[in-house]
Amino acid sequence: MVGMDTETEGLYELQPIVSYDDAVAPSPRGGARHLSCVLPALSAAIGSPVATALHDDPDRLRRELGLPQVRSAIVVLVDGLGFWNLSIRRGHVPYLRSLLGESTGARPISTCFPATTVAAMGTFGTGTCPGLTGMTGYSQLNPRNGKICQLIAFRDAMSPEELQTQPSVFQTLADRGVRVTFSGLPKFAGSALTVAALHGARYVANRRMDALVHVAAESAREPGLTYLYVDRCDKIGHNYGWISDEWVGTFERLDGYLRQLHDEAPKGTLIVIVADHGMVQTDPEQRIDIAERRELAQGVRLVGGEPRAPMLYVEDGVDPADVAARWRDSLGDDADVFTRDEAISKGMYGPVRDDVRPMIGDVIATANGRVTIVDSRSQSDKATRLPSVHGSRTTMEVDIPFLVDLV
């Protein structure tokens, strides 16, 4: 299994920053080929185009992404299934492999920065970007209480409705009378992350994957949009690594369920399969602990973000540029390091609301290769040693699948 990962080393290099501007000329990444464009394009495909704060021509996105016009569509988001994770393991998944062979599925689209679930769900659900949703990472500063808040469960955070003020595509469709169905696990019904990013859909909960798939397929008999969320690849990847036998087994079962969706969906249904991010296999020898490196800890008050994209909040009176310079000198090629102003000016978070600016770290690092940057002072030992992670700007993490199946 380790040999397989060695063959991916070229995919562990940092990509150029991807633009959210869908008006840019067609390119391998960005433009219409971005996670933020998926729901606007699908809304146009079902005949009720929803423009967002970033994307004002949903039908153009639909055409550029190669989507037909249909009565009913199902969008499946597989947490943690990056384009290259899928491509490298394609021999295990006959149904997904058949979609990779189609012209629309042969090349990836891009996720947001950071390449992590919280930021990506907000980007996907609203058709915008982390700078507008206020969901800028797994954890970030809550300016109201001065604490690092965690945005999977919104622990120590402001309420989802206060933080995330962009309308979801689902809500806009539902307000127009379009059927929108969310088939998901009971634990996600009404969760803070669902309320923040995916509100508006009628939620149908089931515990078994075959039942979730069946509900998604049956709902497509009525015109409208169905959303199916699958979390298993991400969960197994974090616990065992994406190159593990456990991950491969989960991946194979996923393929069977998605084939079931194809078989049960009514003729004429459009199925689109995407992800929120890819995953990289970590290297324990490349684990950098801020707590053990004085030059990294100096001047840093709090650490948020991800092991692949930490956000640093500096102490009062400390110049973020000085911290960034010290981090660049210490880390060298292991990471790109930006001040908040630099990151925003480069468009890493897309347009940024004024009230979101202080939530973003004063300094942001994006890890290269298989490096992780952790802080054992505030993070559990397990959290600092996960075998597969995500969040940075490498090809493995940023490239996600866009697979299209017209039943």
Rounded to whole angstroms, how far apart are CA atoms 375 and 222? 50
Copy the structure tokens of residue 348. 């890493």
DSSP state of 362: S
* Cα dist from 249 to 194, 252, 277, whole Å: 28, 5, 20
- Range 17-33 average pLDDT: 75
Read off the pLDDT of residues 251-274 as tens digits, 9 standing for 90 and up: 999 999 999 999 999 999 999 999
Strand 403-406 vs strand 270-275: parallel, antiparallel, or unpaired? antiparallel
- Range 136-165 average pLDDT: 97
Copy the structure tokens of residue 66. 């190669």
Tokens 């908040």 found at: 340
- Range 316-335 average pLDDT: 98
pTM above 0.85, yes or no: yes
Contacts of 319 (CB under 8 A, 6+ apart): none
Structural domains of the chain, with CATH:
2-135+150-281+394-406 (3.40.720.10), 284-387 (3.30.1360.180)
Q: Is the peptide bond before 114 cis (omega within 30 degrees of 0)?
A: yes
Beta strands in 211-250 (DSSP E): 224-230
Read off the pLDDT of residues 277-325 as tens digits, 9 standing for 90 and up: 999 999 999 999 999 999 999 999 999 999 999 999 999 999 999 999 9
Read off the pLDDT of residues 93-134 as tens digits, 9 standing for 90 and up: 999 999 998 878 889 999 999 999 999 999 999 999 999 999
CA 196 to chain centre: 15
The yes-or-no verdict on residue 6 having pLDDT over 60 is no
What is the pLDDT at residue 1? 41
Instruction: Indicate the pLDDT class of residue 163, thresholds 50, 70 and 90.
Output: very high
b vs e for 173-211, b when ≥16 Cβ sit within 10 Å of the residue's Cβ? bbeeebbbbbbbbeeeeebbbbebbbbbbebbbbeebee
What is the pLDDT at residue 288? 98
Phi, psi of 195 (to 5 degrees): -60, -40
CA-closest candidate to residue 234, choices 246, 222, 220, 216: 246
DSSP 102-116: STTTSS-EE--SS-S
What is the pLDDT at residue 23? 67
CA dihedral 8, 338, 274, 400 (to 10 degrees): -20
Read off the pLDDT of residues 208-221 as tens digits, 9 standing for 90 and up: 999 999 999 999 99
Beta carbons of 35 and 109 less than 8 angstroms apart? yes
